[in-house]
Chain A
Amino acid sequence: MRSFRGGIHLEYAKESTERKRIIKMMPPEKAFILLQQHIGAPCEPLIAVGDEVKVGQKIGEAKAFVSAPVHSSLSGKVASIASVPDCRGGESTAIVIESDGKDEIWEGIIPYGDDLNLLSAEEIKRIVREAGIVGMGGAAFPTHVKLSPPSDKKIDSIILNGCECEPYLTADHRLMIERPEEVIFGLRAVMKALGVEQGYIGIEDNKVDAAERLKAVIGDDSSIKVVLLKVKYPQGSEKHLIDAILHRHVPSGGLPMDVGVVVNNAATAVACARAIKTGMPLIERVLTVAGPGVKEPCNLEVRIGTPFEDVIAECGGLLGSPTKIIMGGPMMGIAQYGLSAPVVKGTSGLLIFSQKEKGRIWTGPCIRCGKCVEVCPMSLIPLELSHLSEKGLFDEAEEYNILDCIECGACSYICPAKRQNLQLIRMGKAEIVAKRRNKLA
């Protein structure tokens, strides 16, 4: 079975949600639409406080190319444009919308139909951009930018990422089982937008049921292949997906387009399919709510901007008091300071842990066993990087290619001395990037 060098085997803990159907959550009373939910320029509000808005109406946009507009996920009134807690632990500007309970759809929403032959590549790109679609695996990179590579980069393959290699998360898995037609439609749309003949869907071996569903929809169309991959973390990293499926190596500091590939998430494909079929922009997404600290773990389809508190309430509330709340997966997600932040386009999950799972207080010295070197999927030397970073020798760390680290956390997970390798490396990366920025300024 295809895979990549390095990586780790985790306890996947997906049982609690992988067989549960996606539940559509009722729209919240209040939605907090952050003006920056993506990588790139933040949006400027297009509406004023007191304005009436409807579901799907564009309420924020930026002029810059690398950006994505935001849309109202409720119908109601704009209560305020204020600074609210965000999922990164700080505060960001958000448009606060109070629902009028009618859930009326904006008049400007027009379906583009089910036939991709009637749409040109440019039209698809425009629809994707207008719908505010971003990478829904977590990084939230604007999808229309991926669909518009510079003319000197020839793209020949598209990979749809259905690996979902993070423990607990099953949102993409359920999407592929319940909406395989939309996944395939979205993939075909992306292929058309880029003029690519060959598409792949990479799925880990523990989701055979999803692969079967997708294969049934594809039928005998040879332009799309479903590839089963070994269950290993971080198989869902785009560089490793390309390595496993196409055996191409993305160069250091490079992007997938440097080897002629564009990688999109399965959920992103579904969002693209919806935007084309119904005209509805990205106003809701499926996320996994799981972990031992939540009463009824499930997969929910929620409106963007729903506060985490409401999401947890929908799942029956908390079990006891949580000791750790993570947005995203447990390996690469972001620890939360509370439940006041809203759902953003990149929220793939919300995990609640109680005392038993949270651990790691003791940290010992490095015994130079080399386990981190063995598991590092980027073939780096994490022990060296973390030592250099710890001592403040950032220039040397840069020579050891610290910036190639994808922050998967395998080195911290495997370390028998429980050293916080990844955190040290992250600090080093941040210091180097800050220094570069200062030099430019």
Chain B
Amino acid sequence: MEPVLLRSLISMGILGVLLGAGLAFASKKFIVEVDPRIEAIEELLPGANCGACGFPGCANFAEAVVSSQVSANGCVVGGAGIVDKISQIMGVESAGAVIPKKALLRCGGTCEKALDRGKYSGIEDCRAATLLGGGTKACSFGCLGLGTCVDACPFKAIEMGDDGLPIVNKNICTGCGICVDICPKNLFTLVPETSDVHVLCASTMKGASVRKVCSAGCIGCKRCEKVCDTGAISVTDFLASIDYEKCTTCGKCAENCPTSCIIVLSHQERGLVEVDDIAH
């Protein structure tokens, strides 16, 4: 063997052993203790870093759980499945999952049903359009349909429908609430997954004013209030709202609503829809 080759092999070998020993020493000496529970919990979390728990990301949430800042059911996205597991890791009794919630758009003013008062040719963002006197929709409460919620949804659960209103895919929506925060018209609300009857309008204008601008708006006629057997519907400020705990989903209110702004979801295509399960 060439002496040059031999020499370099030996010197590199010695160097390797020395550096290796140094690293081994450093890893023992300067070790940072990480609570293994943090990693275990992080593993369980969805990993979308959506921020719905109030922390910047899943790792921060995991740390907060371990340091007992928040309870194990703080992750709405993970749902029932992971609450038990996190509780197990933490050695506490399961806090019980929060009832999963889904986003619902409180507007039924599609392109055909709601009037426009002007043409908009600016940037495709509802927040920018709202700055221009509330946007081009004649109803000041209505959905502008420029799709800011579609872009903001970290789970791609919202699509823009052909009728100009966004559609929430019930199977993918995790109830993180990002669309609730970003909608400049405050049209999204989180409703219990089990609920089936909803008011698709957010207008508190008087009935006559609503009728001028939209044929699908709540006019505050109180017919729903009268037909409801359980007192689950109440009309305040010319707008019906449903108490989901009392609602038996009998659907009488929807049948009697003159503008069909109250709907039974399982009979409808609008609002939340079931689309073939993709990932979950």
Contacts and interface: CB of A to CB of B under 8 A. Distances in A.
A-B complex is real = yes
Contacts of A426: 128, 131
Given A337-B117, A338-B117, A427 B133 contact: no
Interface residues of B, number: 15
Given A88-B133, A335-B132, A337-B133, A431 B127 contact: yes
Contacts of B133: 88-90, 334, 337
Contact of B123 (A361, A424, A431): A424
Given A337-B117, A337-B118, A338-B117, A423 B123 contact: yes
A363 B122 CA distance: 10
Interface string A341-378: 00000000000000000001101000000000000000
B134 interface: yes
- 8 closest Cβ contacts across the A-B interface? A89-B133, A427-B128, A420-B123, A337-B117, A337-B118, A423-B122, A88-B133, A423-B123
Interface in A392-409: 392
Contacts of B152: 392
A430 B140 contact: no
A182 B121 CA distance: 43
Nearest to B117: A337
Given A89-B134, A431-B127, 10 more contacts: A89-B133, A90-B140, A335-B118, A363-B123, A390-B123, A424-B123, A426-B128, A426-B131, A427-B128, A430-B127
B127 A427 contact: yes
Contact of A89 (B121, B123, B132): B132
The DSSP consensus for interface residues of chain B is: loop
A210 B152 CA distance: 53
Interface string A376-396: 000000000000001010000
B125 A427 contact: yes
B209 to A, nearest CB: 10
A423 B128 contact: yes
Nearest to B118: A337
Interface of A: 88-91, 334-335, 337-338, 360-361, 363, 390, 392, 420, 423-424, 426-427, 430-431
B157 to A, nearest CB: 18
A321 to B, nearest CB: 12
Interface string B146-176: 0000001000000000000000000000000
A361 B125 CA distance: 15
Contacts of B121: 360-361
6 contacts: A90-B134, A334-B133, A335-B118, A420-B122, A426-B131, A430-B127
Nearest to B140: A90
A323 B219 CA distance: 32
Contact of A424 (B118, B128, B132, B136): B128
A392 B123 CA distance: 14
User: Which of B128, B132, B136 lies at the interface centre, i.e. has the most chain A CB atoms within 10 A of its CB?
Assistant: B128
A392 B51 CA distance: 15
Nearest to B116: A337
A278 B104 CA distance: 60
A366 to B, nearest CB: 13
A175 B122 CA distance: 35
A376 B135 CA distance: 28
Contacts of B122: 420, 423
Interface in B92-128: 117-118, 121-123, 125, 127-128
Contact of B131 (A360, A420, A427): A427
A424 B127 CA distance: 10
A9 B193 CA distance: 58
Contacts of A90: 133-134, 140
User: Which of A88, A337, A363, A430 lies at the interface centre, i.e. has the most chain B CB atoms within 10 A of its CB?
Assistant: A337
Interface in B133-147: 133-134, 136, 140
A41 to B, nearest CB: 21
Contacts of B131: 426-427, 430
Contacts of A89: 132-134
B215 to A, nearest CB: 20
Contacts of A335: 118, 132
A272 to B, nearest CB: 31
B91 to A, nearest CB: 37
A88 B130 CA distance: 11
A334 B122 CA distance: 14
A89 B131 CA distance: 9
